[in-house]
Amino acid sequence: MATRKEGMSTRSVHAGEIRFNEYGSLTTPIVQTSTFIFKNVDEIRKLAKGVEGRFEYVRYGHPTQVAAEKKLASLEGAREAVLFSSGMSAITTSLFALLKQGDHLIITDDAYKRTLDFCVTQLVKFGIECTVVKMCDYDAIRNAIKPNTRIFISESPTNPYLNIMDLEKLTAIFKGRGIVVISDSTFSTPYNQRPLEYGVDLVMHSATKYFGGHNDLLAGVVLGRKELTDPIREYLKITGGVIDPLSSYLLIRGLKTFELRIIRHNENGQKIAEYLEKAPTVKRVYYPGLESHPHYEVAKKQMKGFGGVVTFEMDRDIEGVLDFLSRLKMINIGPSLGGVESLITHPATISYYKCTREERYKLGITDGLVRLAVGIENAEDIVEDIRQAL
Give me the active site residues, please. 59, 112, 184, 209
| Whole-angstrom distance, CA of residue 307 vs CA of residue 303 | 9
Cβ neighbours of 271 (radius 10 Å): 18
**How many angstroms separate the CA atoms of 221 and 88, rounded?**
10
| Cβ contact 343:373 at 8 Å | yes
The answer to whether the peptide bond before residue 157 is cis (omega within 30 degrees of 0) is yes
**CA 376 distance to own-chain centroid:** 19
Note the Cα 106 to chain centre separation in Å. Answer: 19
Q: Give the Cα separation of 43 and 316 in Å (integer).
A: 67
Contacts of the segment 352-356: beta carbons below 8 A, 24+ positions apart = 352/113
Contacts of residue 45, defined as CB under 8 A and 6 or more positions apart, other chains included, come to none
The answer to whether the Cα torsion of 22, 28, 32, 37 is positive or negative is: positive
Q: Measured between alpha carbons, how far is 219 from 205 in angstroms, rounded to an integer?
A: 9
CA distance 146 to 353: 36
Query: 3-class DSSP state for residue 196?
Result: helix
* Cβ-Cβ contacts under 8 Å for 287 (sequence gap 6 or more): 162, 269, 270, 273, 293, 306, 309, 310, 311
